């Protein structure tokens, strides 16, 4: 067992990451279809935000962001990115509850060789050092840009700002133990994903 694994989880963890429009979410769906247990960090955060205690916390911290005990995420995002104290308070609150949500979501994984943790900011948050191996879903920046322009009808200026705001995909590719290239068809992505995960031995 790894001496320092995320949340002291007893089963090996494969960290799955990528960049915007590289196809990481698609690979997660493929892996679920293949029978792997995939835990999505973004979904854990959404679960935490939906809890009554979190809503009460947000209402006390940012009263204008809660109406009828529902969080207005548009207002919350504005406050989050404009006031550092609010950002730090929310990040600390969410982080301190991630372990509980992770362990709850992973309760079916104890008889598996490993669990997959879909974490977009795996490297940015230093979680790559707390998992047993890392897999990057990769597409070069020019393809990321094309997909962003097509998928969300973004302007090229906005799409480039989104990409500039993330860790460069080439850094993630170089830092990962395995790379799933997503530059072709969906069927090719399925084949590559299945092959890579069959080769992982922990």
Give 4-64 as a DSSP string: S-GGG-SS-EEEEEE-TTSSHHHHHHHHHHTT--EEEHHHHHHHHHHSHHHHHHHHHH-GG
10: which residues sit within 8 A by CB, 6+ positions away? Answer: 1, 110
pLDDT in the model for residue 6: 95
CA max distance for the chain = 50
- pLDDT tens track for 54-97: 999 999 999 999 999 999 998 998 898 788 899 899 999 999 99
Model confidence at 152, pLDDT cuts 50, 70, 90, reads confident
Nearest Cα neighbor of 163 from 171, 181, 132, 16 is: 171
Instruction: Indicate if the pLDDT at residue 1 is higher than 70.
Output: no
Sheet containing 115-118: order of strands = 38-40, 115-118, 13-18, 133-138, 178-181
- pLDDT tens track for 3-57: 789 999 999 999 999 999 999 999 999 999 999 999 999 999 999 999 999 999 9
CATH of domain 13-37+114-195: 3.40.50.300
- pLDDT tens track for 153-198: 778 887 888 888 889 999 999 999 999 999 999 999 999 999 999 9
List, in sequence order, every residue forming a beta bridge with 38; answer none if it has no partner. 116
* Residue limits of CATH 3.40.50.300 in the chain: 13-37+114-195
pLDDT, mean of residues 136-160: 89
Residue 80 CB coordination number (10 Å): 18
Tell me the percentage of the chain whose pLDDT exceeds 70.
Answer: 99
pLDDT in the model for residue 81: 77
| Arithmetic mean of pLDDT over the chain | 93
Residue 9 CB coordination number (10 Å): 22
Q: What is the pTM of this model?
A: 0.88
pLDDT in the model for residue 120: 92
């Amino acid at each position: 067992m790894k001496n320092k694994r995320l949340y002291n989880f007893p089963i090996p963890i494969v960290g799955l990451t990528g960049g915007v429009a590289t196809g990481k979410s698609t690979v997660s769906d493929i892996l679920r279809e293949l029978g792997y247990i995939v835990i999505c960090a973004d979904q854990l955060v959404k679960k935490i935000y939906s809890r009554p205690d979190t809503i009460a916390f947000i209402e006390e911290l940012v009263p204008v962001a809660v109406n009828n005990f529902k969080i207005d995420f548009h207002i919350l995002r504005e406050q989050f990115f404009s006031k550092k104290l609010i950002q730090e308070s929310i990040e600390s609150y969410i982080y301190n509850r991630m372990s509980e949500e992770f362990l709850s979501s992973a309760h079916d994984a104890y008889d598996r060789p490993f669990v997959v943790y879909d974490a977009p900011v795996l490297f940015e948050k230093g979680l790559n050092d707390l998992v047993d191996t890392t897999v990057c879903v990769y597409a070069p920046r020019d393809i990321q840009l094309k997909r962003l322009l097509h998928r969300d009808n973004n302007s090229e200026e906005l799409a480039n700002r989104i990409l500039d705001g993330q860790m460069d995909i080439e850094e993630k590719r170089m830092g990962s133990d395995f790379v799933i290239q997503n530059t072709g068809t969906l069927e090719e992505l399925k084949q590559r994903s299945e092959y890579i995960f069959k080769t992982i031995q922990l």
